[in-house]
Amino acid sequence: MTSKFITVVIPALNEGKVIRYPINRVFEAFEKYNLKWECLIMDSSNDNWITKNEAEKLWARVISIPRQWLGKAYIDSIPHIKWDYIIMWDADWTYDFIEMDWFIKKLDAWYDFVMWTRLKWNIHKGAMPWKNRHIWTPLLTFFINLFFKAWISDCNSWLRALTKNAFDKMQMESRWREYASEMVVKARLTHMKMCEIPVSLLADRDWRKPHLPAYAAGRANLKYIMLLASEFIFMKLWSIIWVIWIIILLSQLFGPINILWKSFWTFYLFLWVLLRNIWFSIFQMWVLTQNFSYLNKFRITKISKKIAKIFTFERGLLVWWILGLIWFVMDFIVLLNRLKIWTIDVVSFRIWLYALFFIITWIQIIYFSFLFYLFNKKKN
């Protein structure tokens, strides 16, 4: 077994009745495997120091912090961790810490981040609510696998191990339960070597009331996953809409077309203009998210890097003038034709629709150029 020093971090909130159980189990496990360790309790209790005193009796190191959410407690633990390996554990004693030797073996095998999965092992009766086991955890895990290719089975298991270097690299920021998803996502974004190990899950003790509302926690995690995947979602939507937009343009470029029994008339150009508007709006969100969100520390595409490099306010202004000129010429042609024949023919109507495309793009380009310049100036 490893010669590394291990820190076990346990957030605690009014756990005076149960804190001795997880600490004793930690002690038993490390004695069994003959490892060097310490137990760090991040205590935000308001129970007249009962939790703190109980933990210190068992030689745990207690850091008193203001009452706050679970994720913030882990973030606050970072300056107090000086050693090589970190194991994150709950104070509720629902995991059997004696199984932690597999964690250490994986970290010794150069894994950066090791998770335990409850869904592939022994879940005791009453240990996991039905909605958590069959709805929230599979749903959140599905989205993490879809967007970030984590290929895990349980994104919400809170018995985890990682190296101190990996913990620092993640730059965690979530203060609440979405911390669980953020760790997995950032492990993937920073290309860490990670794996899962099956773990037993025990039921809460009768006298302990869980702190976490399942629905609120699931909703918070889902929202945060979508935030971290925003540039991915924008890019995929942008690509799909762009393909549809091009198909409509090509189909209408030389007039209405017939496909089987269906005729696609000039009025479909309205849909083309609408899709172009949606497409460009999503494109703006993607570029701004990629280049100016905190996410750019973790993932940024070559395309967005190139756009950021070549795009300037002056170049945007030049495109703005060109588009405005094209729009003016097209509308002037339609106006002349209108004065000449006092009606709008199909050709003039089509020219007017294309002019509509250029005027909308004209407005969006100047808006985007200014926004890009403003964000870039603030960034630099």
What pLDDT digit, counting tens, does each position of 12-39 carry? 888 888 888 888 888 888 888 888 888 9
More confident residue, 194 or 156: 194
Q: How confident is the model at residue 239 (pLDDT cuts 50, 70, 90)?
A: confident
Among 260-264, 355-359, 365-369, the minimum mean pLDDT is found in 260-264
- Which pLDDT score, from 0 to 100, does residue 8 have? 92
What distance in Å separates the CA atoms of residue 344 and residue 139, rounded to the nearest whole number?
Answer: 54
pLDDT of res. 263? 62
Going along the chain from its start, the domains and CATH numbers come out as: 5-228 (3.90.550.10), 230-379 (no CATH)
DSSP 8-state class, residue 159: -
Which residue type occupies 287?
A: V
- Rounded Cα distance, 318 and 362, in Å: 11
- Indicate left, alpha or beta for 344 from its phi (over 0: left) and psi (-120 to 50: alpha): beta
Q: Which pLDDT does position 40 carry in this prediction?
A: 93
Residue 344: the pLDDT is 63
Asked if the model's pLDDT at residue 5 lies above 80, the reply is yes
Give the per-residue pLDDT at 255: 62
pLDDT band, very low/low/confident/very high, at 113 (cuts 50, 70, 90): very high
Q: What is the mean pLDDT of residues 256-285?
A: 74
Q: Could you give the CA distance from residue 183 to residue 331 in angstroms, rounded to a whole number?
A: 54
pLDDT reported for residue 210: 54
The SS3 call for residue 53 is helix
Instruction: Please report which confidence band the pLDDT of residue 112 belongs to, taking 50, 70 and 90 as the band edges.
Output: very high
Q: What percent of the chain has pLDDT over 70?
A: 83
CA distance 205 to 19: 12
**How does the average pLDDT of the chain come out, rounded?**
80
Which band of pLDDT confidence, cut at 50, 70 and 90, is reported for residue 85? very high
How many whole angstroms separate alpha carbon 347 and alpha carbon 266? 10
- For 321, half-sphere exposure in the C-beta direction (CA atoms, 13 angstrom radius) is 5
> What's the pTM value of the predicted model, to 2 decimals?
0.72
Helix (H) / strand (E) containing 131: helix 130-131
Helix 214-228 to helix 179-189 angle (10° resolution) is 20
For residues 300 and 206, which has the higher predicted lDDT (pLDDT)? 300
When pLDDT is cut at 50, 70 and 90, the band that residue 193 belongs to is very high
Residue 207 pLDDT greater than 60, yes or no:
no
The segment with the largest mean pLDDT, out of 44-48, 77-81, 131-135, is: 77-81
